[in-house]
Amino acid sequence: MSKWQDFRRKHVLLMNTLFTVAVPLTVWLVMELLDYSTTGLHTMNSMVDWTTLMRNLVSSFCFALGLNCNMALGRMDTSTGSQMFLACILGGNLALSLNLGGVGVLVFSMLLGMVAGAFVGFLFINLRILPMVLGLGISLVYECISFSANNQQGLNLFGKPGVGILSNRLFIIGITVLIMLVMTYLFQYSPFGYKRRAIQGNQKLANDAGINIYVNALLCYTAAGALVAVAGVFDTAYKSNLVPVLGMNSNSTVFSNMFPMAVGLWLAKKSNPVIGILAGSLSVQFLVLGLAKFTNIGMSDYMQTCIKYSVWLVFMIYRMNEDKIQLIKDKRARVALAKATRAQRAAVAA
Amino acid sequence: MTATSSANTSGKELHLNWKERVDVIRSNRWFLMAFPFAMLALIILIFGGATGGNFFRVSVLKGILSQAIIIGTCATGVSFIYSNGNLDISIGAVLGMGATLGVLAYNATNITPLLILVSVGVSLGLMAFNCTMSVVCHIKTITVAIVVTQIYSAITTLLIGGAGTIDIAYETSSMLEDGGFRYIAFFGYFILCLVVYHFTRIGRELRFLGGNETCAQQTGMSSGKATYVSFLMAGLGVGLAAVFSVIDVSAVSVETGSGLGMDVMLATVLGGMSIFGGSRSNAYAGLIGALTVAALNKGLLMVGVPSAFIQGIRGVIFLALVYMNSERRDLLPSRMQF
């Protein structure tokens, strides 16, 4: 065993931490080099960039975490985008009408998100339709309700009293840390989390062992609804309003947040899903912010979208063939070892 | 004694509750064949009555047929993808990009056949790319569809530019429409699909793979080959639908193909086919379903239902039909994507 392998074996925690930090750091470094060499600007050029990063990060992190509640168990819930719109428009406007300010908007949206998510979960465990297809149908209905509510005005936070707290950096960091702690406990250390992981391993075995897979699915959908609602509130605070959509356009929010979730799940193998998804979201935000700097040399938003999704496609190709690459590496190592052994024996014989 | 107890058991088994009776009815092959036609007739009768006969005006029926041909062509092609258990929601984006490049090629050369060839060729190429990502790179079809939808839509918007629309000469589109190109191409494609699906070995293999992939593979069937055939057949249909959509409005815009994916899924289930594939799949479900979807959309608009509510109604109908067309599993359905 080489010294490097020995070091890695002895310092597993350090190596895992380095792996988790290395990915967002590498993305930032690559974007920094590209941005500076082509536009003369840094990826994080001003305090505005840091504020944008923070707001987008919390929104993306919460949404990706919400998707992961079900995705890890083989349930792709495509209705989470419409749940976000429904929860924020109904919950947010209710809180504003009661003069509850930003915290009220956040709490009421979360509650409505939980109701919206729980209803999807209830339908799922009763109808047993493939989650993605169920999500598409639900999206149509939820979009219809959120579009028709509040005279098609959506949610407008601009100039509303007490909503400034949603843009406060300390408040954003506090909420992010709180969500991280709660979700780490729920996913990793609570009875719900243990059961969820058992179902993730094998649903039939978990069911045979006495785990109520139906209640667990309902709780997963409820948690996902709450998380996407939080994401929606911070996104609305950043843009100052949330315009309702039709024609399944809410799905674009779901699809764009699958990228940080996919990266996060890959990083989670060396940490845990919550930290992994945070690091994944940070990596994608660095990519997006870095690409945004190319606007200065005339690159359009659509070209940036093309690049972002092409990077995702390349990542998915790597992710789905990771085991084959490892297989080739192992084979090469075996061949090298065999050659070395043969050469050693030949030398001894000579 | 044994004979008596056996007879009693049979008597108990024959006493079915209402859920089991519904299951027996919905799995009856004659019910499955008659249901889509009954739905279409019911919708026509309801809207015919609700609009005081205006629904039967020639201009309205022509509009329904025009819309149904676009949805039906896509749905007939996509039924190949559904039948072997795959889902692809990128067809709207593929149609948009195929139509855009076709129009650009036509505007650059003024050669009408080039519009058709480029649209179909591009659609075939894009569907082949999606399939390669799935078969060769082992990414799930739905994940590929999610990623490429964004890429194709962004490229289409870049190609169309700031105006948001590119026109073609009205004479060209009317010439193609009056010359009956749409009907000849649609029925030619429809017959090809029927033959391939119901009278060839590859069609049987597709249905078998959708029904039980493991069993089909153990009998020597190639999942990869079947997936390629299904995506290429769908690509041909989407390419033709791209030409039809250009003929319909004499232009292509950034909105071309948007919402088509959901219309195609709705048409498939309204046509009596399960979007989860299997032995009950057929190639004609898309056409019947497309007529029903187009009639439903038009009818709801004519009776004054707001567009947001039309979407909600379509969502409820979609879920009800998917539930009716799918077998209830003992455990919760799941499918790993990442």
CATH number, domain of B223, equals 1.10.3470
Classify the phi-psi angles of B86: left when phi > 0, otherwise alpha if psi is within -120 to 50, otherwise beta. Answer: beta
User: Residues of A with CB below 8 A from B314's CB?
Assistant: 140
Residue B136 in domain: yes
User: Residues of B with CB below 8 A from A131's CB?
Assistant: 333-334
Residue B217 in domain: yes
Q: What is the DSSP string of A213-240?
A: HHHHHHHHHHHHHHHHHHHHHHHHHHHS
* Residue B161, burial from CB neighbour count under 10 angstroms (0-12, 13-18, 19+): exposed
Residue B173 in domain: yes
Closest CA to A105 of A95, A113, A115: A95
In this prediction, residue B337 carries a pLDDT of 63
Examine the pLDDT at B8 and tell me if it is beyond 60. Answer: no
In a mutational test of the B interface, the residue from A80, A85, A144 whose CB has the highest number of chain B CBs within 10 Å is A144
β-pairing verdict for B165-167 and B251-253: antiparallel
Residue B5 in domain: no
Count other C-beta atoms under 10 Å from residue B46's C-beta.
Answer: 15
Inter-helix orientation angle A273-292/A47-71, to 10°: 140
Cβ <8 Å between B158 and A313: no
Alpha-carbon gap: A10 to the closest alpha carbon of chain B (Å): 31
Residue B333 carries which DSSP code? -
Residue B1 in domain: no
Of A73, A128, A132, which has the smallest distance from its Cβ to B142's Cβ?
A132
CA dist., res. B89 & res. B142, Å (int): 7
pLDDT tens digits, residue range B265-281?
A: 888 888 878 777 777 77
Cβ <8 Å between B155 and A246: no
Over chain A, what is the mean pLDDT? 92
In this prediction, residue B36 carries a pLDDT of 86
- Residue B9, helix vs strand vs coil: helix
* Residue B5, burial from CB neighbour count under 10 angstroms (0-12, 13-18, 19+): exposed
Cross-strand partners of A241:
A156
pLDDT tens digits, residue range B193-216?
A: 999 998 999 888 888 888 788 888
Whether residue B87 contacts residue B322, with contact meaning beta carbons closer than 8 Å, is answered with no
Cβ <8 Å between B333 and A129: yes
Q: What is the DSSP string of A279-348?
A: HHHHHHHHHHHHHHGGGGGT--HHHHHHHHHHHHHHHHHHHHTHHHHHHHHHHHHHHHHHHHHHHHHHHH
Examine the pLDDT at B99 and tell me if it is beyond 90. Answer: yes
Examine the pLDDT at A34 and tell me if it is beyond 70. Answer: yes
ipTM higher than threshold 0.95:
no
* Residue B49, burial from CB neighbour count under 10 angstroms (0-12, 13-18, 19+): exposed
Alpha-carbon gap: B90 to the closest alpha carbon of chain A (Å): 12
Examine the pLDDT at A24 and tell me if it is beyond 60. Answer: yes
CA A59 to chain centre: 9
pLDDT tens digits, residue range B301-311?
A: 999 998 889 99
Cβ <8 Å between B319 and A207: no
In this prediction, residue B237 carries a pLDDT of 96
pTM for this predicted structure? 0.89
pLDDT tens digits, residue range A41-97?
A: 999 988 888 888 988 999 999 999 999 999 989 899 999 999 999 999 999 999 999
In this prediction, residue B2 carries a pLDDT of 47
pLDDT tens digits, residue range A158-216?
A: 988 889 898 888 999 999 999 999 999 999 999 999 999 999 999 999 999 999 999 99
CA B52 to chain centre: 31
Of B311, B318, B331, which has the smallest distance from its Cβ to A204's Cβ?
B331
CA dist., res. B98 & res. B91, Å (int): 10
Cβ <8 Å between B338 and A265: yes
Q: What percent of chain B has pLDDT over 70?
A: 94
User: Residues of A with CB below 8 A from B316's CB?
Assistant: 137, 141
Give the residue, A239 or B281, on which the prediction is more confident: A239
Residue B6 in domain: no
Examine the pLDDT at B7 and tell me if it is beyond 70. Answer: no
Residue B25 in domain: no
User: Residues of B with CB below 8 A from A128's CB?
Assistant: 326, 328-329, 332-333
Examine the pLDDT at B3 and tell me if it is beyond 70. Answer: no
User: Residues of B with CB below 8 A from A217's CB?
Assistant: 332
Residue B71 in domain: yes
In this prediction, residue B1 carries a pLDDT of 42
In this prediction, residue A47 carries a pLDDT of 87
Q: What string of H, E and C letters represents the secondary structure of A121-161?
A: HHHHHHHCCCHHHHHHHHHHHHHHHHHHHHHHCCEECCCCC
* Greatest alpha-carbon span in chain B: 87
User: Residues of B with CB below 8 A from A136's CB?
Assistant: 262, 265, 318
Alpha-carbon gap: A127 to the closest alpha carbon of chain B (Å): 6
Give the residue, A224 or A46, on which the prediction is more confident: A224
Cβ <8 Å between B331 and A213: yes
Confidence of residue B336 (pLDDT cuts 50, 70, 90): low
User: Residues of A with CB below 8 A from B154's CB?
Assistant: 302-303, 305-306, 309
Residue B151 carries which DSSP code? H
Query: Per the structure block, which two tokens stand in for A228?
Result: 């996407």
Q: What percent of chain A has pLDDT over 70?
A: 100
Cβ <8 Å between B316 and A141: yes
Residue B137 carries which DSSP code? S
Q: Which domain holds residue B254?
A: 36-325
* Greatest alpha-carbon span in chain A: 92
Number of domains within chain B: 1
- Residue B165, helix vs strand vs coil: strand
Examine the pLDDT at A227 and tell me if it is beyond 60. Answer: yes
CA dist., res. A102 & res. A167, Å (int): 9
Of B143, B150, B276, which has the smallest distance from its Cβ to A130's Cβ?
B276
User: Residues of B with CB below 8 A from A216's CB?
Assistant: none
Count other C-beta atoms under 10 Å from residue A332's C-beta.
Answer: 10
Closest CA to B101 of B122, B72, B73, B82: B122
Cβ <8 Å between A145 and B312: yes
Confidence of residue B13 (pLDDT cuts 50, 70, 90): low
Examine the pLDDT at A140 and tell me if it is beyond 90. Answer: yes
Of B139, B154, B314, which has the smallest distance from its Cβ to A316's Cβ?
B139
User: Residues of A with CB below 8 A from B146's CB?
Assistant: 255, 258
Of all residues in chain B, the one with the smallest CA distance to A75 is B334
